[in-house]
Amino acid sequence: MQKQITVFEIRLKVFLLKDIPLSKMLTAEAYFIDSVLTKDQEWLTYHETNQYKLYCLNGLFPLERDGIYKKEQIYTITIRTVEAELARYFAKELSNHSSNQMKGLIAERRIVPRKMISEIYTLTPVIQKWEQGYWKVQASVEEYERRIFENAIKKYKQFIGNEEIDEEFQLYTGITFLNRKPVPVEYKGIRLLGDKLNLKITDDKQAQELAYFLTGVGIGEINSRGMGFCNYRWL
């Protein structure tokens, strides 16, 4: 029997201890979350293991029009995961945690309801690592889409225990790129280029399952650094 998918969402209010520019925002958030994982041996091992990290996070909210998130202001970070124990740990520990840039205040945990999904769309850029950098330099849209699907299947199979599943299904009927030019993001001191996507999800049972799963883990690569975080619209 396949493992049941449940998407947990943690809404965390944080108090900024420094100004954070938009270009450094996701890095600052990821460091904050990484540093809470290192406080517990079980979650330190999880953090250091070479596997998909099955959680994702959005940027600070509300948005700042001038691109500077302000010291001594309160913002919300949304974190999602399909790992129940990790959701519990985040909800308990992040509200009492501080880094040199932000301090946790209140964490609320909820389950994202399962309903028919009409589309999912990313709020942060989807990243794919290609040898020559940005994918459009070296790959077709079809190759890009194949990687989106293969990456999603690999994460899903890791979570359910590497059971074999039927991969012959159509996840979506249409893909739309929401950006006119590549969206730059900083990662480990380098600049990566990504894309914001909208996927129109089919009503196939496996497609609906995978789309719901992706709302909890993100689309594409390096989701635990804030990449590929997606929202959803129900039918």
pLDDT of residue 164: 82
Last residue of a domain, one of 111, 129, 150: 111
Is the distance from CB of 122 to CB of 228 less than 8 angstroms?
yes
What pLDDT is recorded for position 188? 84
Verify that 126 and 217 share a domain, yes or no: yes
Separation of alpha carbons 128 and 123, rounded Å = 16
Q: What is the pLDDT of residue 231?
A: 97
Half-sphere exposure of 102 (CA within 13 A, CB side): 32
pLDDT at position 168 = 92
Three-state DSSP class for 197?
strand
Query: Do 162 and 219 fall into the same domain?
Result: yes
Phi, psi of 127 (to 5 degrees): -110, 135
In this prediction, residue 2 carries a pLDDT of 67
What is the C-alpha separation between 90 and 153, in angstroms, rounded?
25
Whether residue 1 lies inside any domain: the answer is no
Write the DSSP symbol of residue 123.
S
Residues 25 and 75 occupy one common structural domain: yes
Euclidean distance between CA atoms 77 and 201, whole angstroms: 26
**Structural domain tally of the chain?**
2
For residue 1, the model assigns a pLDDT of 52
Both 127 and 230 in one domain: the answer is yes
How many angstroms separate the Cα of 30 from the Cα of each of 1, 4, 7, 201, 221? 34, 27, 20, 29, 14
Identify each DSSP E strand in 60-149 by its residue range: 68-69, 74-81, 102-111, 117-122
Q: What is the CATH number of the domain that holds 227?
A: 3.30.70.1900
DSSP 125-149: -B---BTTBSGGGT--HHHHHHHHH
Residues 31 and 92 in one domain: yes
Partnered with residue 232 across adjacent β-strands are: 120
For residues 158 and 79, state if they share a domain. no
Q: Are strands 55-57 and 74-81 parallel, antiparallel or unpaired?
A: antiparallel
For each of the chain's 235 residues, which pLDDT tens digit applies?
Answer: 568 899 999 999 999 999 999 999 999 999 999 999 999 999 999 999 999 999 999 999 999 999 999 999 999 999 999 999 999 999 999 999 999 999 999 999 999 999 999 999 999 999 999 988 899 989 999 999 999 999 999 999 999 987 888 899 999 999 999 999 999 998 888 899 999 999 999 999 999 999 999 999 999 999 999 999 999 999 9
* Spatial distance between the Cα atoms of 16 and 68, rounded to a whole number of angstroms: 11
Domain that holds residue 141: 117-234
In a domain, 2, yes or no: no
Q: Which two tokens stand for residue 92?
A: 């308990």
Say if CB 171 and CB 210 are below 8 A apart.
yes
pLDDT score at 41:
93
